Amino acid sequence: IKNIKTCGGPNDSMFVRLFIPHSRTSLPASMFSRNDFSIWSILRKCIGMELSKITMPVIFNEPLSFLQRLTEYMEHTYLIHQANASSDSIERMKCVAAFAVSAVASQWERTGKPFNPLLGETYELVREDLGFRLISEQVSHHPPVSAFHAEGLKKDFVFHGSIYPKLKFWGKSVEAEPKGIITLELPRYNEAYTWTNPTCCVHNIIVGQLWIEQYGNVEVLNHKTGERCCLNFKPCGLFGKELHKVEGYILDKSKKKVCSLYGKWTECMYIVDYAALEAHKRSGKGTAEKKSSKPGSREEVEEIPLPEADTVEVIPGSYLLWRIAPRPVNSTEMYSFTSFAMQLNELDKDMDGLIPKTDCRLRPDIRAMENGDIDLASEEKKRLEEKQRAACKTYSKSDDEWKTKWFQQGQNPHNGSQDWLFSTGYWNRNYPLLPDIY
């Protein structure tokens, strides 16, 4: 693609690579084949049930906790730095919208289920090279709620949220609806943006090849200016024509469409003037609106759809907002992890002793799975789940209530809905009286 202005990229990052503590490019062991396991024998009695209530064999997991998986929202933090550096609010909205789409890109081909976090489990990630630090905590068990709080190391942003992944089993597929609100604050502009992630669906969990789809509407709202970005993650439709497509537009406060966004969450996002897009459509070159598939037809498109050979058709006058980084060489044998994900459970010597004993990196079942010891992983997973059950029973019998350590339930200050808010202290690195959850 020629003559495309880019809106910057990881190389334009204004953060000098001071120190890169995370450097692992692959896992210690490759994954086991899941082909010999019949998931059907476990699931046939559970159609329509919530998956969090079903105990799944560890073979269907990936060696990461859901708290670590959440952290993958931060892979493209450079888009937030770009938002901070733009003096125009519409330009900022473009970067924030690209960030919202890029945040789900790591889910592409990731068909393993992350481990359910235990109540009180925490995870921290400091990436000086990317300019942020993040802390998350499992703040509720029923329903399972994970809260996270990230901040720019140079105080240019705060990014936080609480997620309740509601999993539903639909016979041939599993749907994960990420309930919960996500907030990005840019203190320099006194702005806050909120949105909710699209629904993720894993197909063919019984037979055939697993594949992932994201669908639904995502609305990014700038609470200060009233500007919004409406994004539509398209369901794949008949013959896979809409596979992975995302389309949307930015509305100014008078609800006038000022620009259009298009692309695929697995690949890239472009932006173009709304007028230029309309002109392109009138010239007949634009992809005419395809007949959208009837809702009922989704069931028939269960086999893996073939992506169109030419992926995203670029409309003249567009420029690139974001493009996905290639997966590392060993990715397919390693749960389709991105380079970012490969490093998440790495435990280097400097970190051991510094992080609290509730950190995911110290969870024995995940560690065993990462090391390729499936039997130990399975045993440890059972042991931890039983330990958690016993602890919950003790709590319900006594007058003590479970207290979250780093987050408190409260109202989202911008949207007003129920949320979990960070209550400082974590980064002082003084961790007395932590629960023994492993």
Residue with tokens 């090279």: 129
Cα 98 from Cα 266, distance rounded (Å): 12
Residue 101 beta carbon to ligand NAG: minimum distance, rounded to whole angstroms: 16
Residue 154 beta carbon to ligand NAG: minimum distance, rounded to whole angstroms: 3
Of residues 114 and 198, the one with the C-beta less far from ligand NAG: 198
Residue 31 beta carbon to ligand NAG: minimum distance, rounded to whole angstroms: 11
**Helix and strand counts by DSSP (H, E) for the chain:** 8, 18
Of residues 156 and 380, the one with the C-beta less far from ligand NAG: 156
Burial class of 231 by CB neighbour count within 10 A (0 to 12, 13 to 18, 19+): buried
Calculate the alpha carbon distances from 424 to 100, 406, 414, 415 in Å: 25, 7, 19, 21
Report CA torsion sign: 159, 165, 166, 167.
Answer: positive
Of residues 134 and 315, the one with the C-beta less far from ligand NAG: 134
Burial class of 79 by CB neighbour count within 10 A (0 to 12, 13 to 18, 19+): buried
| Adjacent-strand bridge partners of 163 | 146
Do residues 33 and 63 lie in contact, with contact meaning Cβ atoms separated by under 8 Å? no
Residue nearest to ligand NAG according to CB distances in the complex:
154
Residue 28 beta carbon to ligand NAG: minimum distance, rounded to whole angstroms: 8
- Alpha carbon 292 to its chain centroid, in Å, reads 27
Residue 179 beta carbon to ligand NAG: minimum distance, rounded to whole angstroms: 9
Torsion of CA 267, 268, 274, 278, to 10 degrees: -40
List residues near ligand NAG by CB under 6 A. Answer: 14, 25-26, 81, 84-85, 152, 154, 156, 181, 188, 194, 196, 329-330, 415-417
Cβ-based neighbours of 333, under 8 Å, separated by 6 or more: 30, 31
Residue 70 beta carbon to ligand NAG: minimum distance, rounded to whole angstroms: 17
Residue 371 beta carbon to ligand NAG: minimum distance, rounded to whole angstroms: 12
Cα 240 from Cα 238, distance rounded (Å): 5
Cα 313 from Cα 223, distance rounded (Å): 33
Of residues 136 and 343, the one with the C-beta less far from ligand NAG: 343
Of residues 127 and 298, the one with the C-beta less far from ligand NAG: 127
Of residues 164 and 431, the one with the C-beta less far from ligand NAG: 164
Of residues 57 and 372, the one with the C-beta less far from ligand NAG: 372
